[in-house]
Structure 1
Amino acid sequence: MAELKLTGVDKSYGATQVLRGIDLEIERGELIVFVGPSGCGKSTLLRMIAGLEKISGGTLEIGGVRMNDVPPAQRGIAMVFQSYALYPHMTVRENMAFALEIAKVPKSERMAKVDRAADMLQLTPYLDRLPKALSGGQRQRVAIGRAIVRDPEVYLFDEPLSNLDAALRVATRIEIAQLKERMPEATMIYVTHDQVEAMTLASRIVVLADRGIAQVGTPLELYETPRNEFVARFIGSPSMNLLPGTIARAGATTEVALAGGGRATVAIATEPGSEGREVNLGVRPEDLSPAPEGTPALYSGEVDYTEALGEVTLLYFVAEPGAGQGVIAKFPGIHRGLRRRQVALTAPPEKLHLFADGQSLRAA
C-alpha cells in the first residue's frame, strides 16, 4: 500500500481552477520533489497534503486512511517552511522540544528525542544557543530537527533553502541528502524551483504544469526521456534546444530536414508514411559539438555571444528566420575567439529527441 495517495485531486479558488485531476502514489521511504514554474500549484499541492488548504475534489490518503477532512495536527505530518519560524526567545533545545511539550510528552522522552535529532543534524554544540546566535543554515537545521522529533509519517519541505545564500544552499542540500540516507524509512515531499535540488535529492520528480502533472519519473528519466516539450525544456540548464523541421525519411531511424537547412539522423523509429510530418528536433546544449569538416551539420550559424564559465563555455547563436529560437551550445573547457564566427554543430543520433504536437515520439 502506498504511504500517500492522491486520486483525482482538484483545487479551485472560486471559479479559478489551480489544480485538476492529480493522481499520484508515493511509497514509503521515497523523497519526492515537486517542481514547476511559478504559479503551477506545487506549494498549493503540498499545503493540501498538510491540511493547510482545503481539497476541492478528489481524495487524499495517508497510510490508507482518507485525510480530506482530518485536521493538520492529526495527519501524521511535519512541515518545514521556507522561513525558519523559530521562537527567538527560546534556545535551540526549547524550539525543538516545544511541539512535544504541547503534546504533553514526558520530559525525559522529549530530551531523548531532541538529543537524537541534534546528533543527527550536528546541532549538539548549539542546543543552548538562541536562534540569533546561529547562521542561516544552522537555523534551517533546527527547523528540520523540530520536524524530526515529532516522528511523523510524512515530512513536507516547502522551499526550505530559498532564503539561504548560494554556498549555504549547497551545504544544506548535502546535509538534507545525508539526513535522508540516515532515515531510509522516512517519506519526504520537497517543493523547490531549483533544478539542482530536484535532480540531486529526488527519488522521483513530479513536474507540474498547466494545472496538472506533466511527468513523473526519476531525475535521469526526466532528463533522458522527457515525455513532452515542456519537460524537455524545463529540465536541464540551459534548456533543450528545439529546432523545427520535417521528417525526410521514416523507419527504424529517422532523418529530419531542419528549417534552418541542417539535417539530422535520429535514433528514434517512426512509422513509414510519416514523411513530411512537422516535428521539433530536441538537442541538449551539452550534447552539441563542433561538426568535423566535410561532414553534414545538424546546425550551422554565427556565434552571437559567449560565456566562459571555466569548466564550460556557452555559445549563443543568432536566431535565423524560420529556424526557431537561437541555439545554445555548451562546450567543455575554455574556447576563445568564437564570437562572430560561423560554427557548424553536430550531435550523436542517440542523444536527439523528436516531438510532434508537443509530445515525444520516443514514447509513442
Structure 2
Amino acid sequence: MAEITLKNLGHSYAPNPSSDADYALKPVDLTWEDGKTYALLGPSGCGKSTMLNIISGLLKPSDGQLLFNGVDVTKAGTAARNIAQVFQFPVIYTTKTVRQNLAFPLECRKWAPEKIAERVTHIAGLLDLSDILDQPARKLSADQKQLISLGRGLVRDDVSAVLLDEPLTVIDPQMKFDLRRKLREINRSTGITMILVTHDQAEAMSFADEVVVMMDGRVQQSGPPEELFERPQNEFVGYFIGSPPLNLFAVQPRGGALHCPALGVDFEPEGRASDPEAVRVGVRPEHIHLEEEVGSLPRATVETIENLGIDRVFSLKTSGGAALKVKSRHHKSLKQGDEVGLSVSPEDVLLFDDGQRVECLASS
C-alpha cells in the first residue's frame, strides 16, 4: 500500500511536444493518500486512462515524476510497482475454475497452500463467489467473470494500489451498486488504495473519498464529492457534476452590483469589477424552489415534467426566456403550462467570471 504523488506529471504521444495542445495529460501535481478511494472522472479522451496507465507503469510519462511512498518509480516497470490492475473487460483463465483463477496470482508468488486457501475463501466471501468456487469460469456470466477479475486483483495482500479501469461497464445496474459497496468495504477492511477510472459521475461520487475531474487532458478540480457538488471551481465541473446539471444564467449591471433577472438576485463580486458579458450565475436544480403562489417573485412556466419516482424534474422557461431545470419531490399537482414563482437562498448561488468561480455576496 502506498501514498502516490504526481509531481508535474504530464504526457504527450507526440515525439516533440511544443505546446499544451500536444499533451494528452497536461502536467499535474497531486498527492493521493495511502488507504483511500479515488476516482478519475471525465468524458472520453480527457486523459484519465493516460494518467492511470502512467501510474501502473504501462506508459512512461513525457514529463515529471511519479512517487510511491516518496520513492521515484517513474522509470520502474509494472512488476516493480506492485500494482494490481482490473480492466474494463474481464481478464481471467476460462480453462480454470473460479477457485483456481483466484489462487493463481498467489501460486505465482509461492504462497503456502493453506495460506492460499484461506485468502481465496476470504476474497470469495467478500465478492459473493463462495457458491461457485469450483465451477469452470467459462460457464459464468459476464458479471461473474468480472467479479473473478476483480478478485484476482484483490486477492494479494501486498499490493501498493488497485487500479480499476472502468471495470463496472459490463455489470448490470443493481450489481454495480452492490459491487461499489463491496469495494468500499474491502478498502475499509484492508486499507488498500483504490483508483477508479470512470465517465459515470454517479459511480465516481458513490465510490470515491476524492474525485479528480478531468477535461481536455487537464485536472479541473480534485476534492471530496460534496465539495465538487457544492463548490465547483469552474463551470465545467459545475455542469459535469450533478444530474440534472447546474443551471447557468446571464447577469446584467444594476447600480454598482450585478443582477440576475431570472432569479431576482443581486451580486457583489469580491475582487475586480467584472465584465457582465463574462459573468454567469449557477444554481443547482435541487436548490431552486417553486412557489405556486407567485406574488412578486420572478416567474417561469412549466414546459415538461419528468417523473423519477420520488423526485420530479421540472423543465421551465422564465418570462425573460431563460431555460432551467428544478428537481423536487414536491408540487405533484403542477402540470405543463402552469406558471410558478422562483426563489433561491443566496448561499446556494454560485458566481462564475469567465468560467471560473469567484466569491461573491448575494442578496435576494
TM-score of the two chains, using structure 2 as the length reference: 0.88
1:142 maps to: 148
Matched residue type, 1:158: D
Structure 2 residue 335 is matched with structure 1 residue 338: yes
CA contact (8 A) 1:247 1:278 kept: no
What per-residue deviation string (whole Å, max 9, x for no partner) do you get for residues 205-238 of structure 1?
A: 1111132110111110111111111111111000
The secondary structure found in structure 2 opposite 1:327 is strand
Identity %: 35
Query: Tell me, which stretches of 5 or more residues in structure 1 are unaligned?
Result: none
Q: Count matched residues.
A: 353
Matched residue type, 2:8: G
CA contact (8 A) 2:270 2:360 kept: no
CA contact (8 A) 2:235 2:355 kept: yes
Structure 2 residue 18 is matched with structure 1 residue 12: no
What per-residue deviation string (whole Å, max 9, x for no partner) do you get for residues 131-161 of structure 1?
A: 2443444333222221122220111111111
Structure 2 residue 350 is matched with structure 1 residue 353: yes
Distance 1:41 1:20 in 2: 9
Cα drift, residue 189 of structure 1: 0.8
Query: Tell me, which stretches of 5 or more residues in structure 2 are unaligned?
Result: none
The alpha-carbon distance between structure 1 residues 249 and 74, as it changes in their structure 2 partners (threshold 3 A), is: farther
What per-residue deviation string (whole Å, max 9, x for no partner) do you get for residues 261-283 of structure 1?
A: x52146x7635966967521111
Distance 2:273 2:25 in 1: 39
Matched residue type, 2:11: K
Task: State which of 24, 27, 30 in structure 2 corresponds to 1:24.
Answer: 30
CA contact (8 A) 2:259 2:266 kept: no
What's the C-alpha RMSD, in Å, of the aligned pairs? 2.6
Cα drift, residue 53 of structure 1: 1.8
1:117 maps to: 123
The alpha-carbon distance between structure 1 residues 276 and 149, as it changes in their structure 2 partners (threshold 3 A), is: closer
CA contact (8 A) 1:310 1:333 kept: no
Structure 2 residue 288 is matched with structure 1 residue 280: no
Cα drift, residue 289 of structure 1: 1.4
Task: State which of 61, 66, 80 in structure 1 corresponds to 2:72.
Answer: 66
Structure 2 residue 48 is matched with structure 1 residue 42: yes
Distance 1:70 1:42 in 2: 20
Task: State which of 46, 56, 59 in structure 2 corresponds to 1:53.
Answer: 59
2:167 maps to: 160
The secondary structure found in structure 2 opposite 1:314 is strand
Structure 2 residue 259 is matched with structure 1 residue 294: no
Cα drift, residue 334 of structure 1: 6.1
Matched residue type, 1:214: Q
What per-residue deviation string (whole Å, max 9, x for no partner) do you get for residues 235-259 of structure 1?
A: 1000000001035366xxxx64235
Cα drift, residue 40 of structure 1: 0.3
Matched residue type, 2:136: L
The alpha-carbon distance between structure 1 residues 273 and 113, as it changes in their structure 2 partners (threshold 3 A), is: closer
Matched residue type, 1:203: D
The secondary structure found in structure 2 opposite 1:6 is strand
Distance 2:265 2:314 in 1: 20
Matched residue type, 1:67: V
TM-score of the two chains, using structure 1 as the length reference: 0.88
Distance 2:177 2:310 in 1: 18
The secondary structure found in structure 1 opposite 2:23 is strand
Cα drift, residue 363 of structure 1: 8.6
